[in-house]
Each structure stands twice: as C-alpha cells, then as structure tokens.
C-alpha cells in the first residue's frame, strides 16, 4: 500500500473516531471523563509547583516531565489504560503556556 493510500485510510479512521467522540452519547461521556481526569491532574501539578516555588526555574521540558510523572502515578492509582494515559499526557503537555500564566499570578 502506498503512502497516499495509507494516509487516506488513517485519515478515515481518525475522522470516524472524532465523529464518534462528538456525536454518540458514549463518546461524549468518554470525552467528558477524559477532560475531568485531565483537570484533576492539572490541579495536582499546579499545586505541587506552587508549593515548591519551582515555576521560576521551570521550562516546557521540565513541565512535560512533571506531567508524565504525575499522569503515570495517577494511572497506576486509578487503573488507567496506557492509551488513555498517553492521551492525557498529550493534552496536559499542550497546556504549558496556560499553566505558566496561571501559576505566575
């Protein structure tokens, strides 16, 4: 299968997954659950950084490392699947700019 065909197939699968998450009741519940878990982890990270005062020395790489560590611990405590854990890491890692602004206030 050529690169183009692989891209078409992958795009179709991703499109179907996005439609499923946005239109079905179960997909909406799953998405809501992911966002709730991400919010819990985000608050834990924020609290840890505020208590330690490490925001001045923190850059995006250290933030992402902290996210991975915190999500790993949360995943073990809550019996989370690896796929869900990876989604949460990507979601929280993308929030560096927002995190930096909130913690500096």
Tell me the pLDDT tens digit for each residue of 8-41: 676 666 676 766 666 777 777 887 888 888 889 9
Burial string for 11-43 (b: 16+ CB within 10 Å, else e) reads eeeeeeeeeeeeeeeeeeeeeeeeeebbeebbe
What's the pLDDT score for residue 80? Answer: 85
Q: Smallest Cα–Cα separation from 60: which of 97, 87, 103?
A: 97
Per residue in 37-66, pLDDT tens? 888 998 998 898 888 877 788 889 999 999
Query: If pLDDT is split at 50, 70 and 90, which confidence band does 1 have?
Result: low
Both tokens assigned to 11: 């795009």
What's the pLDDT score for residue 61? Answer: 92
Tell me which of 76 and 32 has the higher pLDDT: 76
Integer Cα distance of 94 and 97 in angstroms: 8
Both tokens assigned to 102: 């909130």
What's the pLDDT score for residue 53? Answer: 79
**Per-domain residue ranges of the chain:** 25-104
Integer Cα distance of 83 and 105 in angstroms: 33
């Amino acid at each position: 299968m050529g690169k183009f065909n692989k891209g078409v197939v992958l795009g179709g699968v991703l499109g179907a997954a996005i439609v499923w998450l946005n239109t079905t009741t179960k997909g909406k519940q799953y998405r809501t659950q992911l966002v709730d878990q991400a919010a819990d982890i985000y608050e834990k990270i924020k609290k840890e950084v505020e208590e330690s005062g490490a925001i001045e020395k923190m850059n995006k790489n250290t933030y992402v490392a902290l996210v991975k560590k915190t999500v790993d611990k949360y995943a073990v405590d809550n019996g989370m699947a690896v796929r869900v854990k990876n989604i949460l890491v990507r979601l929280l890692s993308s929030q560096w700019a927002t995190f930096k602004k909130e913690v500096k206030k």
